[in-house]
Amino acid sequence: MTDLLQRALNELQKRPSADQDAIAALILDELEDDKRWDESFAGSQDKLAALVRRTREPDSAAEVIRNVEPIARRELVGVCPSGERIPIVVEVGRPYPEGDPNENWRCPVTVIPLHHRAFDAGGYDSMQALCIAIRFASSLLTDFVERGGKLFFPDSDDEFDLRI
């Protein structure tokens, strides 16, 4: 399994940083359950064990969004397939320069509770970083609906339409 993951990581590093971030977020979402992490990597002394430990540490991107006033915010009510109603909050922060030699940009976004941590979308400029952040939030909401959930405006029976 380690060889397969190493080959996948090598291929991933050839992609733009924005693609890397989106793919990493999807992988982390799939492996969010601690039990699955432990079953897959318990007792491992290699790089995978270090990766598991790092993903369980506080997320610096979450700190970024907490310290930056959001430029956009949407509150929704999600109704799970089980009928449970959950508050969903989407916040997009102001894009900021990454400070790297390529002059890339980042844009923080949270979709609580659909994603367990803040996502810091990366782009070639502020517009691309902002668009990727919004697309990421939209994809999480779309996935929730495709899995049988429904989205509503708060204090209303009006369903939230994901179509733009």
The amino acid that residue 151 corresponds to is L
What pLDDT does residue 60 have?
Answer: 46
pTM, two decimal places: 0.60
Q: Inform me whether the pLDDT recorded for 51 exceeds 70.
A: no
Q: Which of 21-25, 52-56, 99-103 has the lowest mean pLDDT?
A: 52-56
- In this prediction, residue 102 carries a pLDDT of 85
pLDDT at 27 over 50: yes
Distance CA 99, CA 42 (A): 36
**One-letter amino acid of 98:** E
**Whole-number Å distance between alpha carbons of 79 and 81:** 7
What is the per-residue pLDDT across 96-132, written as a single tens digit (0 to 9) for each? 999 888 889 999 999 999 998 889 999 999 999 999 9
- The residue-averaged pLDDT of 90-99 equals 94
